[in-house]
Structure 1
Amino acid sequence: MPKERGHFAFNADEAGAGWWRDAVVYQVYVRSFADSDGDGIGDLAGLSERLPYLRDLGVDAVWLTPFYRSPMVDGGYDVTDYREVDPMFGDLADFDAMLADAHAYGLRVIIDVVPNHTSSAHRWFQAAIAAPAGSPERQRYIFRDGRGPDGAEPPNDWESIFGGDAWTRLPDGQWYLHIFDPEQPDLNWELPEVRAEFEDILRFWLDRGVDGFRVDVAHGNIKAPGLPDVGYSSKTGRNQRQSRLLEGTRLPYFDQDGVHEIYRVWRRILDSYPGGRMAVAEAWASSPERLARYVGKDELHQVFNFDFLHATWSVDSFRKVIDTALAEATLVGAPTTWVLSNHDKQRHVTRYGGGALGLRRARAAALLMLALPGVAYLYQGEELGLDEVLDLPDELRQDPAFRRTGESRDGCRVPLPWSGDAAPFGFGPAGAWLPAPTAWVAHTVAAQEQDPGSTLELYRAALRLRRAEPSLRGGELTWTEAEPGVLAFRRGELTCVVNLGGEPVDVRRYGTPILASAALDGDFLPVDAAAWLKPVPLG
C-alpha cells in the first residue's frame, strides 16, 4: 500500500462530493509520461511508478488522455474498443492497479471519453462499410449521397478540423462524415443505440471506480437537421478555415441544442454513483452564454475555459477574461476552470516569448492561475518549465493534422524529462517515441528537485499554500486598485500581484510576500513576475 500523501488518503465512495469545485487537476498524456517496459511509449505501469511524484507535487486529481484500444491515428482519440486498454499501455489489470494506487495516494482519476466519433477500425464502422446504403449498420454513422448529377461532390461544404473536406467517399458512391480525420467517422447521435452504448461505457468505468470524465468534443455530437451548408470555407476565397470561425459563428456541426439532452442523461448517471463523480466538457461555442449552458445542476459539472489560455500578456486581456469567466460561473452556479497549456496547444513558455522571457512569464502566470477561484488544470511538464519543441523532424511527427495542414501538436507531446544527462532523460529504460532536446537536461525533475529556485519547486510551494490558505479554497475575488500595468486582487487575506508593466513595482502596500515567481529586489517586484502577499502583522 502506498504511503499516504501529505493531506489525506481517501476512499472514493466516502470522500466529499464537491471535491471538483476547487481542485488542481494534472493532465497526463499517457504516451509521454513514463515508460515502464522500454518500448519508448509511456504506459499505465509507468504512470503507477510515478504517482509519488504527483502526490508530492500536490495535485488533487489526474486526467488521463485516451488509453483505449486504438490504431493511434490521432493519439488514441480514434477508439476501436472503449472498454479495453490498448496493449501499448498495458491491460485492464494495469488500469485497476493504477487506479487503486492513485486512490491510496489521495489522487482522484479522470479519464477521457470520446463520443463524437470512433476509429474507422471500430467494429461498428467496419460493419457499416460492408453493408449496403440505407442499412441499419450505416445508421450508426452519418452517411449521405453526394451532390451533382453523379454524386461526385460532397454532400455539403463542411470542412474537417484537420483541414480539407469533412467527407470521404466509399467505392459504392456514398459519403461519410468525419469532422476530424477520415479515420475518425462521426457517430449518429440521433440513433438511440448510440446513446445507449455510451451510457453503458460510462457505467463500465464508473463501476471500476473512476472519479470523472473529460468529454472530448462535447459540442459536436449533434448536427443541424438537414446538414445545411456553412456558406463559406477555405475554398471560397475567404482565406480561413471554418474551424477558425468558432467565435461568434454558430456552425451547423457544433453546439447544437440537442447535445444538452445527452448530458442531462449523463448527469443522472454520474449522480447515481457515490463519491462526487464528475464530468468536464471540452466545448467550443459561439458565445460565453452558449458555453455556459453545458454546466449546471442537471448537466456537466465544468467546461474548459480556453479564453484564459488565449489571453495576451496584458492587464486588460487577463482582467477581461477573468471577469467574464467568473460572471459565467456565478450565472450557472458552477466553478470556472483555468488552463494555460494542454496536449492540443503550444506550451505557454513558448507562447509567452520563449527562452528566459517566456519562462519568467510562465512562472508568473502559474501564480496568477493558482490564486484564482475555481479549478486549475495543469498540463504535464509545465511544472518543469518545458517549452514547445519546434524542430522535430517531419518524419517523426504523428499528428494527423500535420499531413493535411502543416500544423502539428507533436511539439507539446514530447516525453517528460525525469533525470540524467541525455535523452530520453529517464523516461524509460530505452528511447522515446519523440526525441527530447538536449537543453532539457536543465529541466529534468532530478535537476529541479534540489534547486529551491526551480519552476518545479515554485509549483510545489504554490500548491502547498493553495491547500493551506483558506482564502484560496473557495474565497471570493476582489480587485485591488493598482499601478498601470499591474494586476492585483485579494482573496481573503491573500493578495496576488502580477507585474505586466515595464517597471518594477513597490509591493509594500499589498502586504508581505509569502511566495514570488522571481526574486524581489528589496520591496520591488520585477517586471514579468507575480507574488502572493499577506497583511503585515500589527505590532
Structure 2
Amino acid sequence: MSIAKTLAALVVVAALAGAGITAPPTATAAEASPPRAQAGEEVFYHVFFRSFRDSDGDRIGDLRGLTERLDYLEDLGITSILLTPLQPSPFYHNYFPTDFETIEPKYGTLDDYFAFVRGAHARGLKVYLDQEIQYVGEGHPWWTRSQGFAGAPFADFLLWRDAARTEAEPFLDRATWPHYDGRQIGIAMIDLNNPRVRDYFTRVLLFWADPHGDGSGRDGVDGYRIDHMMDDLDHKGVATDLFAGFWRPVFEALRARRPDFRILAEQADWGFGEDWLVRGDADLVFAFPLRGALIDLDKDKIVQAVRETEAITQADKGQIVFLENHDTDRFMSLIDDDPARARAAAALSLLLRGEPLLYYGQELGMRGITREDGMSDSNHIPLREAMRWSAELDAPGAAIWYRGDKPWWTEPANRAHDGVSVEEQQGDADSLLAWYRTLLALRQARPELRGGDQRLPCGDASEVLCVLRESGDARSLLLVNLGDAEARPALDATIADDRWIDLIDGGTVDPSTLSLAPMTVRILGTP
C-alpha cells in the first residue's frame, strides 16, 4: 500500500504535497530519546533485511522481527543500523524496485516501519536506508504504462533505445536477468538527467528523511546508502554528469532540511572513493582497498592501504572500514574458521581510524562463499543466509526464506549446532560474540578509539602491526602480530617509555618487552 493511500487521513505536509506523501503520527517519545552517535564516531550494523528475523512464521525477515531484536543490537554496541532496501521488487534482495514510495508487504506496514524507527531512536540508534534509484524492476508503472506509448505521463522518466519507446535501456548489457527461482526479470535505467525525475526523488527522499516536513527528523531516517553510485551510469554515456546534475542537488536538499543527515556512497568501482567524496559530495565511502588488505592480514598491505586511504580522505569526510557486506564472501570462510585470525581482523577493523561496519552475523562467525551459477542472483544467497539466533537452522524466528530443495538450503554454509549462533555463544566469555562486544565497549569508552588521530609507529623491523590512537592526553595502542612466528613490536622511545595498562586483562605493561605469538592481539592504553 502506498504512503499516500496508507496515510491519506493524516495531515498533508505542504512541502511534500507534490509527491502525494504525508506524515506519520507524531512520536512524542522521540524528544526524550538518548543522543545518537556523532558523525565520525558511528559503528554501523549492516542488515540483509529478508534474512534477519521473522516475526509471523512465514520465514521472511520483517520489520517487527527486526524491532524485537533492537535490544540485541544495542547490547552489541553498535550505534547505527544500515538496512538493505525495503521497497517492493521482483528480486528477493529488493534492489530494482517497482515502487519507491512503499514498503514490501511481506516486510510489514508503514506503521510497522515507523514503530521500528521510533524503537531504534528510543535506544539512541541511528537508521540508514539503502537507496538504489537509478533503475526500476519489471512491473514498475513507469515502465508498464509507458512501453510503446511515447506520450505516457511518465515515459520520459526512463531511458529508451528507440523513439517509439518500445525497448527500455537495460541495466548493464542485458534486457533480463535470471532470478534464483528461475524467472527472467527485466531491469530498466531511469533518466536521472531529467529534472522531473530529480524533483521526484528529492521529494521522496525528503519524506523518508523528514516525514513531518518540519526539519526535526522525527520518525525519519538519519542517512542513506547510495548503491552503485556513478557519474556516468554503467559507463554508457546515456546518463552522465550525475554527480553535479543529480546527486549533489539531492544531497543539498536533504542537508538543508536535516543538517546532520549523512550520505554513504558505495563507489561503483570499489576503489578509494576520492571522486565520490569530492565531486559526488558524499560524506563517507567504503574502504574497499583497506578491506582487501585486512582480508589478507598482511602488515605491508595494511600499512600501504591505510596511508593511501588517509591521503585521499578530507578532514570533513570519512571511510567505512569493513570486512564483509552483502556482496562479499564471509570473512570466516576466507580464513577457514581460524578463530585467532578472526579475532585479529575484528580488532583491526573496529579500532583502526574510520567508522566500522559489521555485516549481520559477522560477530558470530557466520560463513558463506559466493556460488558460481552464471548471472543468477542465487550466487549471493550463501552470503545472505538467515541470521543465526538459534542453534537450529529452522527454529522459530529464523528467516529461512530460501528453504527448499536447492543447494542454498540442502548445502548451507551454516549448519545446525555448529557453534555459530547467538544461543550457543551468548554466555561464553571466550566466544567471538563476546570478543566483538568487548572491542565495541572499549571503543565506546575511549574517545581516542572513536575519533582520535592515528599513527602506525612500528616499522619494517617487526611483523607486529602497531596502531597508535590519540586524542588529547588519551592514548591507545593496538598491537597485532601478523607474522608466522613469535615477534616483538619495534616501538620508538616515546611510546615504550610511557606508562601503559592492558585494557583487556588489566595490569601495567611495558610494550617493548612483549613477545606476541602469531595473530595475538594486545590492546594497551594510558591511564
TM bracket (short chain): 0.7 to 0.9
Report runs of 4+ in structure 1 exceeding 3 Å deviation.
Answer: 9-16, 134-138, 165-169, 220-227, 285-288, 425-437, 506-513
1:116/1:194 Cα in 2 relative to 1: closer, same or farther (>3 Å)?
A: same
Q: Counterpart of 2:466 in 1: which secondary structure?
A: strand
Whole-Å separation in 1 of the counterparts to 2:438 and 2:232: 41
Query: Structure 2 regions of 5+ residues with no counterpart?
Result: 1-28, 178-183, 212-219
Task: From 199, 217, 226, give the equivalent of 2:228.
Answer: 217
Deviation per residue, 1:256-314 (Å, 9 max, x gap): 543233222122222223472111011134864xx323225982211112112222331
Letter in structure 2 aligned against 1:489 = V
Q: Counterpart of 1:531 in 2: which secondary structure?
A: strand
- Counterpart of 2:96 in structure 1 is 78
Q: Counterpart of 2:106 in 1: which secondary structure?
A: coil
Shift, 1:345, TM fit? 0.7
Deviation per residue, 1:224-271 (Å, 9 max, x gap): 6855xxxxxxxxxxxxxxxxxxxxxxxxx7xx5432332221222222
1:468 matched to 2:445: yes
Structure 2 length normalisation: TM-score? 0.78
Task: Tell me which moved more, 24-33 or 276-285.
Answer: 276-285
Whole-Å separation in 2 of the counterparts to 1:85 and 1:41: 14
Q: Is the 8 A contact 1:37 1:429 kept in 2?
A: no
Q: Is the 8 A contact 1:199 1:266 kept in 2?
A: yes
1:194 matched to 2:212: no
1:480 matched to 2:480: no
1:412 matched to 2:383: yes
1:335 matched to 2:318: yes
1:87/1:484 Cα in 2 relative to 1: closer, same or farther (>3 Å)?
A: same
1:484/1:438 Cα in 2 relative to 1: closer, same or farther (>3 Å)?
A: same
Q: Counterpart of 2:189 in 1: which secondary structure?
A: coil
Whole-Å separation in 1 of the counterparts to 2:168 and 2:147: 18
1:531 matched to 2:522: yes
Q: Counterpart of 2:318 in 1: which secondary structure?
A: coil
Shift, 1:36, TM fit? 0.2
Whole-Å separation in 2 of the counterparts to 1:104 and 1:155: 44
Task: From 303, 306, 310, give the equivalent of 2:292.
Answer: 310
Shift, 1:27, TM fit? 0.6
Deviation per residue, 1:352-378 (Å, 9 max, x gap): x2122xx42222111011111221111
1:38 matched to 2:38: no
Task: From 233, 250, 253, give the equivalent of 1:269.
Answer: 253
Q: Is the 8 A contact 1:417 1:440 kept in 2?
A: no
Whole-Å separation in 2 of the counterparts to 1:222 and 1:29: 25
Q: Counterpart of 1:93 in 2: which secondary structure?
A: helix
Q: Counterpart of 1:99 in 2: which secondary structure?
A: helix
Letter in structure 1 aligned against 2:286 = F
Letter in structure 2 aligned against 1:21 = G
- Counterpart of 1:117 in structure 2 is 135
1:287/1:24 Cα in 2 relative to 1: closer, same or farther (>3 Å)?
A: closer
Task: From 12, 15, 38, give the equivalent of 1:19.
Answer: 38
- Counterpart of 1:498 in structure 2 is 480
Deviation per residue, 1:405-449 (Å, 9 max, x gap): 6981111100011124x2224534988646453255411112111
Q: Is the 8 A contact 1:385 1:455 kept in 2?
A: yes
Q: Is the 8 A contact 1:314 1:485 kept in 2?
A: no
Query: Structure 1 regions of 5+ residues with no counterpart?
Result: 1-8, 147-153, 170-180, 228-252, 392-400
Letter in structure 2 aligned against 1:360 = A
Q: Counterpart of 2:229 in 1: which secondary structure?
A: coil
Q: Counterpart of 2:465 in 1: which secondary structure?
A: strand
1:20/1:166 Cα in 2 relative to 1: closer, same or farther (>3 Å)?
A: farther
Q: Is the 8 A contact 2:229 2:265 kept in 1?
A: yes
Q: Is the 8 A contact 1:28 1:379 kept in 2?
A: yes
Task: Tell me which moved more, 216-225 or 409-418.
Answer: 216-225
Task: Tell me which moved more, 422-431 or 257-266.
Answer: 422-431
Q: Is the 8 A contact 1:78 1:183 kept in 2?
A: no
- Aligned-pair RMSD on alpha carbons? 3.4
Deviation per residue, 1:25-74 (Å, 9 max, x gap): 10111111110001111100000000000000011110111111222x25
Whole-Å separation in 1 of the counterparts to 2:305 and 2:32: 34
Whole-Å separation in 1 of the counterparts to 2:168 and 2:261: 40
Letter in structure 1 aligned against 2:89 = S
What does residue range 64-463 of structure 1 map to in structure 2 within 5 Å?
A: 64-71=83-90, 73-132=91-150, 137-145=154-162, 160=172, 165-167=173-175, 183-208=186-211, 209-219=220-230, 222=233, 227=238, 257-274=241-258, 276-285=260-269, 288=272, 291-295=273-277, 299-311=281-293, 312-330=296-314, 333-351=316-334, 353-356=335-338, 359-388=339-368, 402-404=373-375, 408-420=379-391, 422-428=392-398, 433=403, 435=409, 437-438=414-415, 441-463=418-440
1:61 matched to 2:64: no
Shift, 1:140, TM fit? 2.0
Letter in structure 2 aligned against 1:380 = Y
Q: Is the 8 A contact 2:352 2:467 kept in 1?
A: no
Letter in structure 1 aligned against 2:465 = L
Whole-Å separation in 2 of the counterparts to 1:79 and 1:365: 35
Shift, 1:189, TM fit? 1.0
Shift, 1:119, TM fit? 1.1
Shift, 1:21, TM fit? 1.3
Whole-Å separation in 2 of the counterparts to 1:472 and 1:386: 26
Shift, 1:206, TM fit? 1.1
Q: Is the 8 A contact 2:463 2:481 kept in 1?
A: yes
Whole-Å separation in 2 of the counterparts to 1:48 and 1:86: 16
Whole-Å separation in 2 of the counterparts to 1:61 and 1:429: 22
Q: Is the 8 A contact 2:87 2:98 kept in 1?
A: yes
Q: Counterpart of 1:81 in 2: which secondary structure?
A: coil
Whole-Å separation in 1 of the counterparts to 2:171 and 2:208: 33
Q: Counterpart of 1:477 in 2: which secondary structure?
A: strand
Whole-Å separation in 2 of the counterparts to 1:225 and 1:41: 36
Letter in structure 2 aligned against 1:32 = S
Q: Is the 8 A contact 1:486 1:497 kept in 2?
A: yes
Q: Is the 8 A contact 2:198 2:250 kept in 1?
A: no
Q: Is the 8 A contact 1:303 1:337 kept in 2?
A: yes
Q: Is the 8 A contact 1:189 1:222 kept in 2?
A: no
Whole-Å separation in 1 of the counterparts to 2:101 and 2:110: 9
Shift, 1:507, TM fit? 5.9
The percentage of aligned residue pairs carrying the same residue is 29
Q: Counterpart of 1:355 in 2: which secondary structure?
A: coil
